[in-house]
Amino acid sequence: MKERSDAFVFGAQTPTEAMDPGIVRQILGYGDSIMMVRVVFDEGAVGYVHKHFHTQVCYVESGEFDVTIDGVEQRLGPGDSFHVQPNLEHGAVCRKPGVLIDVFSPVREDFLEAREAK
């Protein structure tokens, strides 16, 4: 498992992984306590409510999402963002197909392990 990504990570040359139905994940730049991940959602795809010890910030590149954080739901669109404190429950439902840019600190080693296992 590489401690960090290359300095430059080209989207077209980087593997994608099918996750829950309608969700495709691509690990972008990572290392030194931070990891960036691009997630493509089909309409209706559900990122189930979950929690983890990592801090998370997220940017809505495109589409529309109903995002729930600690029981509060908001509709987010392009240019919007959210921040999830460690161990806070959160999830997202895709209302219009789109892309989220998720960033975690520290690195999601579970994501790297899952990618290696495929």
The footprint of a second copy (CB under 8 A) covers 4-12, 28-36, 38, 55-59, 61, 67, 69-70, 72, 74, 76, 78-86, 101, 103-105
CB nearer a second copy, residue 19 or residue 80:
80
Least distance to a second copy from the beta carbon of 86, Å? 6
Helix (H, G, I), strand (E, B) or coil at 113: helix
Burial of residue 9 (CB within 10 Å: 0-12, 13-18, 19+) is middle
Least distance to a second copy from the beta carbon of 36, Å? 4
Least distance to a second copy from the beta carbon of 16, Å? 11
Burial of residue 118 (CB within 10 Å: 0-12, 13-18, 19+) is exposed
Asked if omega into 106 is within 30° of 0 (cis), the reply is yes
Which DSSP letter does residue 89 get?
-
CB nearer a second copy, residue 6 or residue 110:
6
Least distance to a second copy from the beta carbon of 30, Å? 6
